[in-house]
Structure 1
Amino acid sequence: MLKDILHGCGQLFFAESAKEAIERLPNLLPDIILLDIVMPEMDGWAMCEYLKNDVRYAEIPIIFITGHDEQEFEKLSLELGGIDFINKPFNPKICKLRVQNHLKLHYQTKLIAQGREQLQKMVKQVPVLITYWDVDWRNLFSNDYLGTWFGVPHKPEDNIGMTTILPHELCQAIQSQATNNDEVNFIVEAKVNGRTRHYQVFQSPFQQTGNTGRYLVTLIDVSEEKEAKIALYSEKERLRITLNSIGDAVIATDEQGCITFMNPIAERLTGWRFCEANNQKIDSIMPLQDANTKRPLINPLYLALKEQRILTMALNCELVARSGATIAVDDSAAPIRNLDGEVIGAIMVFHDVSEAIATAMAMASKMSHLANHDQLTNLPNRILLQDRLSVACSAAFATNEKVGLLLIDIDHFKYLNDSLGHHFGDELICLMAKRLKALLPESYTLARLGGDEFVILMTGINSHESISGLADKIVENMHEQFKLAEQFYSVSVSVGVSIFPDDAEDTEQLMRHADVAMYRAKQEGRNRYSFFSDDLEAALLQRHQQEKTLRAALKDNNILVYYQPKYDLVSERIVGAEALARLQGEDGEIISPAQFIPLAEESGLILELGEQVLYKACSEAKRLLYNGANIPISVNVAAAQFNSPELEQHVQKALSEYGLPSFMLELEITETALMIDPQLTKKKLDKLKSLGISISIDDFGTGYSSLSYLKTYNVDIMKIDMSFIKDMLSNKHDYEIVKTIISLGQSMGLHLVAEGVETRDQRRALIKLGCPTAQGYLYSPPVTAEQFLSLIKSEQ
């Protein structure tokens, strides 16, 4: 009877005795157990107690089914852990409904447990201490399960007080600033394991009821930031004190020769106070004359500005002070350049020659240092590097040793510099120089060539292993994030390696080959190093030819656009397409996007390329609409294109020019581009969304996402990168990543698209996980516009 009644509820197994049931249970592990009371060998109550005492079966719901209808029987059954009691004879429909309801409850309980487990995993991985407290400051939750932060491992059920978990100073600061209605944000200092640490504390009330409050408190360790600020302040103060206390007079001007700074010595020698001389021309504050003829002399600072080079004062020169007294001086003037090498002013350093020859020698040494060192990082510049490189190669030739040259370039530095501003770009350069220097022994030279390029000169090398070991260490250490403007930023580097005398006969060739090797590292995906080889020069020539081809194609509007269809996984019908740029070489062959897209980014052509693809995709979408296909076309937006202030205007113009409904256009933006400036990103996305188009996050999971930012962005679609789809059925970690991304997207109400689907097994797995849409070679490779239209018509 039960078999007929419960048909369709699930797979049923029967046992005619408790002994048989106990033997079969380990292999079955059922979702629910229906249990009679009167049975041979062991009655139902004893069987129930046995099951509840075994951790393997304790959570399995038990429904008693019996002919006994006494209330005492039902009471005892429920007390022993049963969830329901069905009397015989029973109503078949009611019996089935009860079993179905309990199965639903059991399934929902399992889903809740899985959700909690996933949340626990996510919370454990964030580098933030997350805690939750009751009104008496007893802990209700903490993600510090292992006691990593303060050495006190605990679980929420421990219900221990704040002073047990956190340092005393930290407890006092949090409790004293806690509020019932407002959020507070403050920094506190506390000693942890004998070291003074600084923490950013965020406290907010949570689930208040009457006068009873609960508090959500998160902590971020900002000790390194604090120490960096202290070091930066000390450096600035050291520089100020140095300029004010040195024995030389210093005057700085803008590019017009108007004074912007004077130190006390300059005030004393000229007789002018800085507050009076500020913004005045230098020749009115520091008039010069020939000591013999008394004829006025041109201030060398003007020549330094005009000729953009360092100049020294003419011999036998006198300064006419404000009082009319004359002072024999010796000086030099040097232009001041910004990061782009543009002259933005000049600096004049002079002193009273009569006071001491030693002062003149010191000044000469200072000027020599300025000429041979980078002004931003104080590292050796190209001039000093070339000198040391020549000496190193000569010594290596004599001792039969090798010289290693590593050229380091920051990946995508231009985008970060343009987004954050040059001030933060300079700060990043300085932090990078500091980190690189910490990796090198004293015998090596770290130099800055300018921009975002560094060079490491390795001497006394006997094997390639030591060079590759250092290159490995450099690439790996760059993974640690840099903190700029209260935000963490991740950067990577590309490193080119050239070895003397293996790869080059002289220093010039050694530098050039390191540069070629560095470009190879960028072509291979960045975030890596590459040794020079003979075929690299040929590859560089090929790169120049491809750039020429790309420029010609853009000029003549000859960029090809292919379309890869997106399919509904269940119905297997086309529901969209991704527009993909293609470049045709002079020989008629299609050049791989993996070659010309990075080339377009490096050469600054990516904006023009993205604009051309956008217009062609809108034109094709209009043609599809004319043929009765309301299929949206998605267009990729590069990071530089997304940061362009003209993106919104281009999108609006393209929609208007082709009369295309906005729902037919979708922009695909990589998560890396979205993370550069979260506030600016949100404003830009809101503007784009106001046009009525859809926004997709491309290649999700491959960048450095911040979930706290992601939840605030106004996006519609999340694309799962093909790198995870490829091995999801053979690699447990990839499968769990895909599962987590789908779960995250569903929880945020985003439409999900899987990239790179190639097999039916992948399709079935994605359907089971809840992913509705996919694109990949299982259905179609990227095809021409005509081929894509044929696919649409064949479906129709």
Structure 2
Amino acid sequence: MLTVDDEVAGSFTLFAAEKDFFDAERLNLLTEMVSDVCFALSNFEKEARRRQAEERLRVSEEAIRLNSSAVEASANGIVIFAHTAQGWGIIHANPAFERITGYSLQEATGQSPDLLVQTDREQMGVQEITAALREQREGNAILRNYRKDGTLFWNDLSIAPVRNDQGEVTHFVGILNDITDRKQYEEQLERQNNHDELTGLANRNRLKERTELAIAFAQRHRGAVAVLYLDLDHFKRINDSLGHAFGDSILCAVAERIGQQLRERDTAARIGGDDFVIVLSDLSSPQEVMLVADRIRQNIARPITLQNHELSLAVSIGVSMYPQDGDDYDTLLRNADAAMYRAKEAGRNGLYFYTADLNTQALRKLELEASLRYALERDELLLHYQPLLNLSTNALTDVEALIRWRSDDGTLISPLDFIPLAEETGLIVPIGQWVLRTACQQVRQWQKEGVALRVAVNLSARQFRDDQLVHIVQQALEESGLPPRLLKLEITESTVMQNAEQAARTLAELKALGVSLSVDDFGTGYSSLAYLRRFPIDQLKIDRSFVQDIMLHPDSAAIVRSIIGLARNLRMQTVGEGVETVEQREFLRVAGCDLMQGYLFSRPLSATDLIALVRKHQASQPG
């Protein structure tokens, strides 16, 4: 048998005519011949394999050289990542990568895949690439990337894993395609299709699209949408007297002023000439529309100085509301347009709702706001004081200052009507400062007359966010001469929890002044006990809704007991608000509540009547 590397390659056969021709000598000779042939075949096979290996190596090296040349010559940026202990890092980048990004290979080597994203990580594409790296799969995303000099370019990035012989991912290859020109062209087309060329506001196409989205959102969440149709009064005179170029500049200024009053989710559009449309989405009430519309009217009315001319503009605004005035774009726009013409017929520079009832509300709101702006100047605001009774000792040592407004016609306006309006317009800040100063002065005067009472003053959410609050409180104490221990500041639970970290800092600064701090309407919000322990609170006021139900609903009674127990454990005083019956008072007393406040003992009184009540009560006490 002929064998090569222990494998049968063939046979060597000889025939002889004579019997016993193959003796021992001849057999040895044949064996030696077979061995020589096998040796020759083996060498031939090895030589063939060597030549094949050399050819494969040559082809492989050529392929590698070609691949390397292709990578280096590619117009697309190509980058190779390797996995290290610190994560994926760049080990190679081609010249196109350097040209596109501005980073040299030396600067890029060792950097993470975030190199070009920088801090702009809140992109959908970043999540896709991160997931592809984590899951060791291919990935593609269009990203906002940034060159070494900080300039933006759009990158259509594709990545793919590279595996070794064992199937393990050892590297990733990324291909960068700079599509900035394409994106700019798309944006240009988008602007042409969806934006007004003159002002940059939305055009009719975008307006319709955004209105329909706002309506769909309102349908799902049972909200409201307002469409405001604005027309500049007597704008034709400007074009006729100063020219269309001047008029265009005015329109741009008006567009900018409109945009200043809107939220990100709202839409402003110019639909032709001097006609503008605004879509207010996700509204809770028509009152929001009135306030926005009034701000826009006031902002547009500010004088515009242009080319040595100073102009004052007026605007007529018509409003339609979803769902009462229509449930589609065309109907709402048509009805807002009709309402705008009614505003012009009513004397221009006004606001008119398509629904008559809303016009009455809007007029009432605007009149109330105008009157409120002058209430401080006209001394129409006054304070009443409601006493708090100690349930253990029956002593009267605390009062709460409550604002009242008596208008110039003598009508007493409820705080429920004007306090929300003051919050919305920002008037709550000067009004709140007046309340604080007046209460401190009054209590100081009572102290001089021999009656020491601690006064509670409510702080609104807007006041509490004012970075001048601590200075204002300190100034009120110093100007009045009132000892800080006789001032208590009340903040609602929801206000405190809006920004708990900031609230903790503000409360600590107020506490350092020596005043007391109380959380009003406690139990109606979502206080975290962890935060409550950190706040330097002295008192919790149990909301009246729980107090009024304690004799009717076991759940309310249990909540009140829990609040009292919580306050006791945190060494805080408790006040039961809205106490109107003897049964409510006795429940609070037995439960361990410290103070009560409500009509059972006294309504809010004028300063004169309050001090009379205090003296009468003190005189009735034994000893």
Tell me the TM-score normalised to structure 1 length.
Answer: 0.41
Q: Could you tell me which of 127, 134, 139 is aligned with 1:234? A: 127
1:557 and 1:612 in contact (8 A); partners too? no
1:53-106 CA-to-partner distances (Å, cap 9, x unmatched) read xxxxxxxxxxxxxxxxxxxxxxxxxxxxxxxxxxxxxxxxxxxxxxxxxxxxxx
Matched, 1:498 2:323: yes
C-alpha displacement of 1:767? 0.6
Matched, 1:730 2:548: no
C-alpha displacement of 1:644? 1.0
Structure-2 residue corresponding to 1:416:
none
Matched, 1:581 2:403: yes
Distance in 1 of aligned mates of 2:481 and 2:596: 28
Structure with greater contact order relative to length (CA < 8 Å, sep ≥ 6): 2
1:669 and 1:697 in contact (8 A); partners too? yes
Q: Could you tell me which of 371, 396, 403 is aligned with 1:549? A: 371
Structure-2 residue corresponding to 1:407:
225
Structure-1 residue corresponding to 2:107:
none
Structure-1 residue corresponding to 2:502:
680
Q: 1:588 to 1:263 in 2, by over 3 A?
A: same
Distance in 2 of aligned mates of 1:587 and 1:505: 42
C-alpha displacement of 1:569? 2.2
Tell me the TM-score normalised to structure 2 length.
Answer: 0.51
1:307-328 CA-to-partner distances (Å, cap 9, x unmatched) read xxxxxxxxxxxxxxxxxxxxxx
Structure-2 residue corresponding to 1:367:
191
Which amino acid is the alignment partner of residue 656 of structure 1?
E
Distance in 2 of aligned mates of 1:230 and 1:742: 49
Q: 1:535 to 1:569 in 2, by over 3 A?
A: farther
Distance in 1 of aligned mates of 2:394 and 2:600: 11
Matched, 1:768 2:586: no
Distance in 1 of aligned mates of 2:194 and 2:144: 15
Q: 1:772 to 1:671 in 2, by over 3 A?
A: same
1:408 and 1:454 in contact (8 A); partners too? no
Q: 1:229 to 1:654 in 2, by over 3 A?
A: same
SS of residue paired to 1:597: helix
Pairwise mapping of residues 505-524 of structure 1 onto structure 2 (< 5 A)?
Answer: 507=333, 509-510=335-336
Pairwise mapping of residues 702-741 of structure 1 onto structure 2 (< 5 A)?
Answer: 702-741=524-563
C-alpha displacement of 1:560? 1.1
Q: Could you tell me which of 453, 462, 470 is aligned with 1:631? A: 453
Matched, 1:261 2:151: yes
2:126 and 2:141 in contact (8 A); partners too? no
Matched, 1:656 2:469: no
Pairwise mapping of residues 377-396 of structure 1 onto structure 2 (< 5 A)?
Answer: 384=205, 386-388=207-209
Distance in 1 of aligned mates of 2:140 and 2:608: 67
SS of residue paired to 2:526: coil
Distance in 2 of aligned mates of 1:382 and 1:765: 64
User: Structure 2 stretches of 5 or more lacking a match?
Assistant: 1-120, 131-138, 156-178, 214-221, 228-260, 268-281, 285-319, 340-352, 619-623
Q: 1:575 to 1:498 in 2, by over 3 A?
A: same
2:493 and 2:522 in contact (8 A); partners too? yes
Q: 1:734 to 1:360 in 2, by over 3 A?
A: closer
Matched, 1:564 2:386: yes
Matched, 1:451 2:341: no
1:674 and 1:681 in contact (8 A); partners too? yes
C-alpha displacement of 1:579? 0.6
Which amino acid is the alignment partner of residue 386 of structure 1?
L
SS of residue paired to 2:610: helix
Structure-2 residue corresponding to 1:296:
none
Q: 1:767 to 1:236 in 2, by over 3 A?
A: farther
Q: 1:242 to 1:692 in 2, by over 3 A?
A: closer
SS of residue paired to 1:549: helix
Distance in 2 of aligned mates of 1:551 and 1:762: 40
Pairwise mapping of residues 215-226 of structure 1 onto structure 2 (< 5 A)?
Answer: none
1:405 and 1:511 in contact (8 A); partners too? no
C-alpha displacement of 1:773? 0.5
Distance in 2 of aligned mates of 1:551 and 1:746: 43
Distance in 2 of aligned mates of 1:767 and 1:385: 63
C-alpha displacement of 1:453? 4.7
Structure-1 residue corresponding to 2:60:
none
Which amino acid is the alignment partner of residue 499 of structure 1?
Q
Distance in 2 of aligned mates of 1:511 and 1:552: 34
Structure-2 residue corresponding to 1:745:
567
Structure-2 residue corresponding to 1:467:
none
Higher mean C-alpha deviation, range 567-576 or range 634-643: 567-576
Higher helix content, 1 or 2: 2
SS of residue paired to 1:746: helix
Which amino acid is the alignment partner of residue 713 of structure 1?
F
Q: What is the Cα-based RMSD across aligned positions, in Å? A: 4.2
Distance in 1 of aligned mates of 2:122 and 2:186: 31
1:670 and 1:700 in contact (8 A); partners too? yes
C-alpha displacement of 1:605? 1.1
Structure-1 residue corresponding to 2:303:
none
SS of residue paired to 1:766: helix
1:407 and 1:453 in contact (8 A); partners too? no
Structure-1 residue corresponding to 2:422:
600
Distance in 2 of aligned mates of 1:363 and 1:580: 56
Q: How many aligned residue pairs are there?
A: 361
C-alpha displacement of 1:570? 3.9
Q: 1:236 to 1:759 in 2, by over 3 A?
A: farther
Pairwise mapping of residues 314-333 of structure 1 onto structure 2 (< 5 A)?
Answer: none
Distance in 2 of aligned mates of 1:359 and 1:662: 63
SS of residue paired to 2:401: strand
Structure-2 residue corresponding to 1:690:
512
Q: 1:365 to 1:752 in 2, by over 3 A?
A: same
Distance in 2 of aligned mates of 1:230 and 1:689: 44
Percent of counterpart pairs with the same letter?
A: 32
2:493 and 2:521 in contact (8 A); partners too? yes
1:722 and 1:756 in contact (8 A); partners too? yes
1:407 and 1:454 in contact (8 A); partners too? no
SS of residue paired to 2:491: strand
Moved over 6 A (4+): 235-240, 358-361, 389-392, 502-505
SS of residue paired to 1:555: coil
